Structure 1
Amino acid sequence: MGNSVYLRLRNRHYVRFNEQITLSNIAQIIAPESYETRIKNLVVYQVTEEDQHLIVIDLMRIINIIKKEFPELEVRGLGKPEIIVEILTSSMTKKPNIYAVVFVWILLFIGSGLAILNFHHDVSMVEVHRRIYYLITGVEKAKPLILQIPYSIGIGIGMILFFNHVFKKKINEEPSPLEVEMFLYQQNLDQYVVLNENKENRKRQ
């Protein structure tokens, strides 16, 4: 390996105000044994009260810091060129308000129930069930419960399978569609932060 240092930035790092961010906090490092400890302890950023909620640390900034301390080393970056550091505040770490959680749960429950009822009304689901029952049995019935009850139970089971969760327990290791959408949203949000917050960082440097 000689005098080469290899860096791979982590996905995300969390800190509090007035903390120092060292290189070992935000990156995986492979370096010559005689340099490794000193490189890992290098301070790459000092979080202050003036910082916003998110900080973007660029790989070039890190390479510049290492080269100033150890000009004889060759630094090579692997992976993505930035890391987002999120500052934790007291409002983010406190427990959620149980009344707010119950209120939101009831609101979503009623809203989703009304959405299903309106959908069934729009497509005339009752008439469909009556027609299916008549085609199978040859008897007209106003309330074919033998179809409606299993159908209603099936909606609940289908939602559980779709979201891949029973309360906090996952049915299998595959991500649910909601988790995939949240992951894609977080990726897009991080990309936006990298493109915009990095400009602010450069102005201060």
Structure 2
Amino acid sequence: MENTIYIQMKHRMKLKKGAVIRLGDIAQLIVPDSLKHLHELQVLKNTKDVEKKFIVLDVMAVISKIKNRCPDADVQVIGPTEIIFEIEEKRKASPSIIFVLVWLLLFIGSGLAIMNFHEETSMQTMHQKIYWMMTGKINSNPYVVQIPYSFGLGLGMILFFNHLFKKRINEEPSPLEIEMFNYQQDLDQYVVLNKHKESTNYSDDH
């Protein structure tokens, strides 16, 4: 029991090229006082010339490094058995330019999507009928219906995405966040299955 090490690895980390990763960086450890130095054990290096986007490090490689340092250690693994490192790329454009470009793309794309939807569903004709039902008059441009509808459409989008600029309306995740989470899970699973054979290529062999 004095040499028992409990290790719980993180699932994903971002990694800068050339960084040296230590055991304490990638996992939560419960170790005896005599083995506190294991927090500084190097588990990943030589990443300066990595050309790939992802590196997968398997827990078996981590255990092997721990055993090399402490042969009598009893390693108990809790949770994930591999960690995915995402290599951060240098940004060639400033964040503000990227934000403006993405904002313009989303604004134009969503605007076209809404207009095409309204055209296919004859929304203007529907507004004219609603105005006629409310007033008994025919109006080709019933702004009294169209303007509140436009504001309601925007409010509905805010409620749907559960965000007003950077402020979250409530703690419930939005459908977009759930889809992004599912996408990330599928991406991680794909990376693990396809990169498993390369998981220790960039780790220290000593």
Cα deviation, residue 79, structure 1: 0.5
Contact 2:63 / 2:75 at 8 angstroms: preserved in 1?
yes
Q: CA offsets per residue over residues 63-89 of structure 1, 9 Å max, x none?
A: 121122222221111111100122334
Q: Percent identity?
A: 49
Aligned to 2:117: 119
Aligned to 1:96: 95
Aligned to 2:9: 9
Q: TM-score, normalised by structure 1?
A: 0.86
User: Which has the higher mean CA deviation after the structures are superposed, 23-32 or 168-177?
Assistant: 168-177
User: Distance in 1 between the 2:160 and 2:32 partners?
Assistant: 50
Aligned in 2, Cα 1:105/1:62: closer, same or farther, shift over 3 Å? same
Aligned to 2:79: 79
User: Distance in 2 between the 1:88 and 1:108 partners?
Assistant: 24
Aligned to 1:199: 197
User: Distance in 2 between the 1:148 and 1:16 partners?
Assistant: 51
User: Distance in 2 between the 1:122 and 1:149 partners?
Assistant: 20
Q: TM-score, normalised by structure 2?
A: 0.86
Aligned in 2, Cα 1:56/1:122: closer, same or farther, shift over 3 Å? same
Task: Name the SS of the counterpart of 1:132 in structure 2.
Answer: helix
Residue type of the alignment partner of 1:87: I
Contact 1:16 / 1:47 at 8 angstroms: preserved in 2?
no
Unaligned runs of 5+ in 1: none
Aligned to 2:136: 138
Unaligned runs of 5+ in 2: none
Q: CA offsets per residue over residues 40-64 of structure 1, 9 Å max, x none?
A: 1211121333323321110111112
Aligned to 1:59: 59
Aligned to 2:44: 45
| Number of matched pairs | 202
Aligned in 2, Cα 1:14/1:118: closer, same or farther, shift over 3 Å? closer
